[in-house]
Amino acid sequence: MPDDTPLRLGELLIARGAIDDDGLTRALELQRSSQGDRLGAILIRLGLISEFTLLECLSAQLGFAVFAGDDLADAAPLIKQEHLQRQISRALAQRFSFALLPRKDSRPLLICRDPLDSGLREYLTTRQQFESVPECCLIAQRDFERLLAEVYRESTQGSGNQDLRRMAEDAPVVELVNGVLARANDKGASDVHIEPLEFGFTVRYRVDGQLQATEHYPRERFDAVVSRIKLISGLDISERRMTQDGRFSSRAAGIETDVRVSVIPAIFGESIVMRLLPMSQNKRFSLDGLGFEPDHLALFQSWMDLPDGIILVTGPTGSGKSTTLYAALSACDRERERILTVEDPVEYKIDGVTQFQVNSDIGFTFTAALRSILRHDPDTIMIGEIRDVDTARIAVQASLTGHRVLSTLHTNDSATAFLRLVDLGVEQFLVGATLRGVIAQRLVRKLCTHCSTPLDVRMLLPAHARASLQRLGIPEEQWHFRQAVGCSHCSDTGYRGRMAIYEMLSATERVRAALSKPSPSHMDLLAAIDADFRYLHEDGLLKAVRGQTSLEEVFAVGGSAISAQGH
């Protein structure tokens, strides 16, 4: 909605003789000093109009119907169903003062107190993915409160709250949950999965990107364990039908860990994933040791040396993009530069960097947050992810006005990132003018140095790998491939830790020229690539040839990239 919305409401009321100029001026003044209160609410608070007048005015002038209190009892169960399906919590409905009433053969009817609320509009079009704001009708405050009370009335099924709470405090349950967290810590797990089965439940740990070590527990313990985890992460114990997200801190072996908890109802009960983010002070991000080869590191540095421009990191979820971005930010001169980030979620805190957490529930979206931080005079900004044209445009605008912009994008390879920005709706010449370079990356597991053994691949190596090695200029004498074996140091997996493999595409003259064609294709960009460019799997081969990772790892993660290039 445009910013002149309050004025329009004010003018409406004046036109109807409900208020005078004086009253409007007073209300607008008060609105400026308030924190985002709506004009209507302020006018009511000042006693200048009644809520009835406001509703009547909006209804007559804008054509909105008013939801009658008499329809409330019939509507509540339908709304309850709709809100359950759409995961609309009471807090959210309250925050934006709205409800969605399903209708046959058309989109749900929006019942709300303020149809002009930009936060509500943004929530509906982005989070609920309505193409536009649905048809709406107004509701008076008192009726809305009654409606919410009805829609979110506690269900009386299942065990009572008190029982759940008592079970969650039971010593064996507390021990079980603490034990799981301690083992996760020992293993260096990034996630813990707790999954209900028909006759029991399992706990699994994700280590180096792979789920391992399944523990089985009897079903009787399940409700108590779920309640325990909900209790410590500040979630609603009684809510068992909707997804919930929470967090808590745990301290084990002197390491403080931030644990993000996500609870999702599944057929046999609630499924839980805990993401472990160690807050250890030793966690230092550095571009060294991530897996950058010296030439790639120098190229990255040359992009970062420029005062403006966009640098994108691409790859699927879990490919280490955030770590690369954090390392890049850590490499900036944090004393002299103002570095701001907008993230969802903030995964790690970095000294000397001001980080903002997106919160769409209260309208602090990526776009809203970015618009605000650009007014905070940054040198470098990091945008957690470019997901839509609005974010992309802001990134371009920020770059054009002299800022360095780092962000991530969901594409498979580096060339596609250039085209994706165009697909999103950014003008081609602006992409060429602002994008400095794209990094595509994946993670591969590092071979355990205690047990890996040499591997003679001369007879086995696939033709495309052989061709790549030739292109990279690595003769057979320098092939030192190794293979995974397994020992006590690596829990018999043969691997320990991970490293990234990279593909880096600079926006060179030739790439920009390819981008300025009428409708550039992936092939056009690939044709413009320099001779020393390394594809993702080629960078992986460099690591495999030195015995740092195995060929299996490189082929597994580079698979899609290899086929995409038709090798």
**Total of chain residues touching Zn ion, rule CB under 5 A:** 6
Quote the least distance from Cβ 549 to Zn ion, whole Å.
Answer: 14
The rounded distance, in Å, linking the Cα atoms of 435 and 514 is 14
Residue nearest to Zn ion (CB): 448
Dist. CA 395–CA 370, nearest whole Å: 9
- CA dist 40 and 55 (Å) reads 9
Range in contact with Zn ion (rule: CB under 5 A) among 23-31, 121-129, 351-359, 448-456? 448-456
> Can residue 491 be called a binding residue for Zn ion (CB under 5 A)?
no
8 Å CB contact between 366 and 384: yes
The piece of 57-65, 123-131, 379-387, 487-495 that touches Zn ion (CB under 5 A) is: 487-495
Please state the closest distance from residue 497 (CB atom) to Zn ion, in A: 11
Distances (CA, A) of 76 to 55, 300, 345: 21, 57, 34
The two three-digit tokens of residue 510, written as one number:
């030739």
State which residue, 265 or 486, has the beta carbon closest to Zn ion: 486
**By the rule CB under 5 A, 487 interacts with Zn ion:** yes
Distance in Å, CB of 450 to Zn ion, minimum: 4
- Given the rule CB under 5 A, which of 11-19, 71-79, 236-244, 447-455 is the region that contacts Zn ion? 447-455
* Residue range at the interface with Zn ion (CB under 5 A); choices 44-52, 161-169, 444-452, 530-538: 444-452
Question: Phi and psi for 458 in degrees, rounded to 5?
Answer: -55, -35
CA 323, CA 285: separation in Å to the nearest integer?
7
Reference 424, options 407, 401, 400; nearest CA is 407
Question: How near is the Cβ of 276 to Zn ion at its closest, in Å?
Answer: 23
Write down the least CB distance from residue 318 to Zn ion, Å: 23
Nearest to Zn ion of 321, 482 (CB atom): 482
Q: Looking at beta carbons only, is 418 or 481 nearer to Zn ion?
A: 481
Return the CA Rg of the chain: 28
Scanning 41-49, 149-157, 394-402, 449-457 for contacts with Zn ion by CB under 5 A, the matching segment is 449-457
CB of residue 492 vs Zn ion: minimum separation in angstroms?
A: 8
Query: Contact between 448 and Zn ion (CB under 5 A)?
Result: yes
Task: Determine how many CB atoms are found less than 10 A away from the CB of residue 52.
Answer: 11
Q: Considering only residues 167, 180, 342, 451, which one is a binding residue for Zn ion as defined by CB under 5 A?
A: 451
DSSP symbols for 94-135:
HHHTEEEEEETTEEEEEEES-TT-HHHHHIIIIIS--SSPPP
Residues in the chain, how many? 567
Applying CB under 5 A, among 490, 501, 505, 514 the residue interacting with Zn ion is 490
Nearer to Zn ion, 332 or 448 (CB): 448
CB of 258 closer than 8 Å to CB of 246 = no
CB 567 within 8 A of CB 536: no
Q: What is the rounded distance in angstroms from the CA atom of residue 101 to the CA atom of residue 136?
A: 10
Based on the shown chain and the rule CB under 5 A, indicate whether residue 142 belongs to the binding site for Zn ion.
no
Among 450, 471, 480, 517, binds Zn ion (CB under 5 A): 450
489 binds Zn ion per the rule CB under 5 A: yes
Task: Provide the terminal-to-terminal Cα distance of the chain, rounded to the nearest Å.
Answer: 49
With CB under 5 A as the contact rule, which of the stretches 142-150, 158-166, 241-249, 442-450 interacts with Zn ion? Answer: 442-450
Q: Does 207 bind Zn ion (CB under 5 A)?
A: no
Q: Which is nearer to Zn ion, 155 or 453 (CB)?
A: 453
Using CB under 5 A, list all residues that contact Zn ion: 448, 450-451, 487, 489-490
